[in-house]
Every structure is written in C-alpha cells, then in structure tokens.
A and B are shown apart, each in its own frame.
Chain A
C-alpha cells in the first residue's frame, strides 16, 4: 500500500523532502514501486548548486531509467553514498535509509502536502 508520511512535503515528480535543515530529499514509495528494483543511482555532487524543478540525477531500475528532480533550490550538502552502493534500499525504505541527497535550501518549488500528493497519485 502506498504510504505518504504526513510530516513530509511532496512533488508531482514523486520526490519528498522533510522540514529539517539542510532538507533531506528522496523519492516516494509510489516512485519506488513504479520503477521496480533500483539498480543504479546518479546523484548530484556535494557543493553543487541546484534549482527547484531541475534534473539533478537519475534513477535506474532493472527495466527503466528516470530523471531525478530537485524539489528545492539550494546547495547540495551531502548525498547518500550507502544508497549509491546498495540501491535496493531505495525500494526497501524510501523514506528512511533510502534518502538520496540533502540541500541547504534557498528557495522552494511547488510542494504538495501528503493529502495533495495522495490525491495526485490517485491514492
């Protein structure tokens, strides 16, 4: 079953971010489910400046590849190297161990609440 923690914000591109500083960003379980088993992650460089809505990396599964967007503008402070080494944790724990990168936020893009995201995905 799809699960959207209330404390997170979401994007229509199926990323989530939390409210901490720097903000932690990952993909939702809807994305993880749709992708199938994640086998390769390309994440942005630490120190890179990213813009809300821009492509910052890619997520590759056994069957397909999709682009990873940043939900916010800011500077990358950390990427999850454990997820790069063991991409299956994105499927196993998309809101926890499977987080992808952290951003020192300078500006937010369009974000959805859990309820809005659930409505967007038809859940």
Chain B
C-alpha cells in the first residue's frame, strides 16, 4: 500500500525536504540539517507537520467513564480543556499505544494516537464500548496537525497573521494564560481551531488542529511570522533527537506489546485508584495484570545512558558489562533509542537493563559493532529546559 500524504505534502516538497515513510505516511525526515533543526527548536522554534498522528473523537454521556475503563489513566479527572498523557493497554497489561487525551468539550474528548497504531487503537476502543453510551469517530482525515515548538513558540503564535483569540469560543481563557497540557479554541481566518500547549520536544510549544483546507495557509502564516524569530521547519529526525534528550518514550522503541508501563518507568500513568461515581474501583482493561505487576520485582528497567566516548549507541545494540579492554562483557540489556545528543555534545541512549545494573552511576558499556564503548547510567531526562 502506498504511503499516505498529509495536506502539507506539497509544502514539504517545495521546501526541499527529504521525505521518508513513517507509520504508513510519507513524512519530512529533514529539510536541511538534522542538527540545525534540532538546535533551532532548543534556541528559537521549529515547525512540525504532525498530521500523521491518529485523532479519535470520543463523545457521549458516558465518554469520561468509557475512557476510564478503556485507558489506564484517570481521564474523568481531566478538567474541561485539559490534556493528559495516557496509555491503552491489553488485558495482560502490555502497552498497545501511548496517547494524549484532550477534554475538548463537556462529554467530548480527542484521543491522539501514534500513526502506526491509530487503526489498532480505534479498533480496541470500539471493542471496549460495550455498555457505554459513547460514540467514536475517526476525525483524522480532513485535518492537519501542526506543531510550533521552542522557547519562542508563544511569541510566534501571537505574531501569526490570521490567528486570533476569540473570547466567544475560548471559554474566557486568554492565550497568554494557556497552561502546559491544556488546550484552547482560537480562530484562523475566522475558522475555529483547537490549540494544545503540548509537545514532544522538551520545550514549550503548541499543537494546532486545522482543517485540511486551511492547513497550507496556516503553515505559511506560522513560517512567515516565525522565520524572523529563528523558526525553521523541522523533520522527524530532529523530533526524534529532541524527544530522546527530553527522555520521552517512543512507541516501538521504549514501549511495545512486550512492555508494561512499569518497566518503562511510566507506572505513574496507571491509576489503580480510579473509582466510579458510586465509589467502587474501576475495573479498567489491564487492571488486574497491572496491579500484580506493580507488586512484583521487574525483570528489566528502562534507564538513561551517557556515552563517555564519541561513538553513539543505536537501537538494538546490546548493553554489556565492562570487560577487559574493548571486548564486550556479559549482555545485561538492550538499547531502545540512541543518538549523539546535539545539545549535550555526547552520546545518549535509553536501554532496558536488568535491575542489578540499573542504579545511577553504574558503569556499563554498549557493544557498538563489536567494540565495547563505555556508557554510564544517568537520570532522565538528559535535557531539561531552563525554567523562566
């Protein structure tokens, strides 16, 4: 099957992007240089096309109770116009996808899924609707999702021609008061659209859902407003190195169907304390397995690794004990993501390792194509943005 293209495809091509297949979509990998795009996001801002992300609208009188049942998070506690990072697990507690849920109106939610998992998430959600008065709708088609990420993102949004606040639809929240992990309705050329203050880069930033018809106009308006402030279009390559520095998991790397949220260090998203309106615990999908898993010692844990040399570790490489010279020692784990960190200037990686070598400061090595390269266990995130 041919890869799908987003409403912004022609813009990417015109900007000279290298396009790459990703999750069933043809997406920009980079426009000019991975490093330049990465640095622009850390220092000014980057513009991303995220239209490949799945978007499932959940509405109805039981929408909140349904999401409490279908996902591991406590979604009924998310206030209107709030957002929450969550996961959908199988009965055995394994992660089917990680998601962001936006509470976009009374009794209405947007569930944002990874591109490669969007169909599965919709199918699994549909399966779980039995007994709930709820309607699911795949609303991805006909929309684009554009992200502005970086310390100058708010400034750029305010400077964008045609993008305006409107108290009539914003519920009285000013753009300036929009909190991290919350959303707001604004207008672009008169059309109402949803803006979330969320992202996947470790920086401040916004994600904007816009109709396919106006996507190109909004993309160009954001670029025009942002370029004088240092904004550049940024591709998946920069997005991956940015999220890795920020210690954020990527489905298919840190998370998959062999992993529960606990191994991934994301146990906090599993809300065993969820109760229904009548005060009884919510028997959400995966609850029993996850409750048991929380009590048992993990077989492996996700850790951050900092390279002491120059050679980066890559996904799939073995983590080993340090041995004699450059000979790799016993295998104690596996790298899930790895890259040279553009911001920090040394290699960074995430890896699953056995618990006895997971303590901070543990000196390990990664088998980089037959040679043991020294790495040390460090806390994540690797990079944290300076707070104002």
Q: Which residues from chain A sit less than 8 Å from chain B, CB to CB?
A: 36-37, 39-40, 42, 58, 60-63, 65, 88, 91
Q: B342 — which chain A residues lie within 8 A by C-beta?
A: 62
Supply 10 further A-B pairs (C-beta < 8 A) apart from A40-B310, A42-B311, A62-B237: A36-B34, A37-B34, A37-B35, A40-B340, A58-B369, A60-B312, A61-B34, A62-B241, A88-B35, A91-B33
CA distance A61 to B30 in the complex (A): 13
Q: Which residues from chain B sit less than 8 Å from chain A, CB to CB?
A: 29-30, 33-35, 38, 237, 240-241, 310-312, 314, 339-340, 342, 369
A63 pairs with B34, CB closer than 8 A: yes
Q: B38 — which chain A residues lie within 8 A by C-beta?
A: 62
Q: A65 — which chain B residues lie within 8 A by C-beta?
A: 314, 369
21 contacts between A and B (CB under 8 A): A36-B30, A36-B237, A37-B33, A40-B310, A40-B311, A40-B312, A40-B340, A42-B311, A58-B369, A60-B312, A61-B34, A62-B34, A62-B38, A62-B237, A62-B241, A63-B29, A63-B237, A63-B339, A65-B314, A88-B35, A91-B33
Q: B33 — which chain A residues lie within 8 A by C-beta?
A: 36-37, 91
Instruction: Tell me how many residue pairs across A and B have CB atoms closer than 8 Å.
Output: 36
Give min CB distance, A7 to chain B, whole Å: 28
Give min CB distance, A72 to chain B, whole Å: 24
Give min CB distance, B18 to chain A, whole Å: 8
B312 pairs with A39, CB closer than 8 A: yes
CA distance A37 to B339 in the complex (A): 12
CA distance A105 to B314 in the complex (A): 35
Q: A61 — which chain B residues lie within 8 A by C-beta?
A: 34
Q: A42 — which chain B residues lie within 8 A by C-beta?
A: 311
The 4 closest A-B pairs by CB, nearest first: A62-B34, A37-B35, A39-B340, A36-B34
Q: B339 — which chain A residues lie within 8 A by C-beta?
A: 62-63
Considering the complex, give the chain B residue whose CB is closest to the CB of A41. B310
Give min CB distance, A89 to chain B, whole Å: 13
Considering the complex, give the chain B residue whose CB is closest to the CB of A84. B310
B35 pairs with A62, CB closer than 8 A: yes
CA distance A56 to B241 in the complex (A): 28
Q: A40 — which chain B residues lie within 8 A by C-beta?
A: 310-312, 340
Give min CB distance, A50 to chain B, whole Å: 19
CA distance A39 to B237 in the complex (A): 14
Q: A39 — which chain B residues lie within 8 A by C-beta?
A: 312, 340
Q: B237 — which chain A residues lie within 8 A by C-beta?
A: 36, 62-63
Give min CB distance, B326 to chain A, whole Å: 13
CA distance A88 to B339 in the complex (A): 16
Give min CB distance, B252 to chain A, whole Å: 16
Q: B241 — which chain A residues lie within 8 A by C-beta?
A: 62
Give min CB distance, B30 to chain A, whole Å: 6
Q: B34 — which chain A residues lie within 8 A by C-beta?
A: 36-37, 61-63
Considering the complex, give the chain B residue whose CB is closest to the CB of A64. B314
Q: Which of A39, A58, A60 has the most CB of B within 10 A?
A: A39
Considering the complex, give the chain A residue whose CB is closest to the CB of B38. A62
CA distance A39 to B241 in the complex (A): 13
Considering the complex, give the chain A residue whose CB is closest to the CB of B238. A62
Give min CB distance, B298 to chain A, whole Å: 30
CA distance A62 to B152 in the complex (A): 25
CA distance A42 to B369 in the complex (A): 12
Give min CB distance, A87 to chain B, whole Å: 9
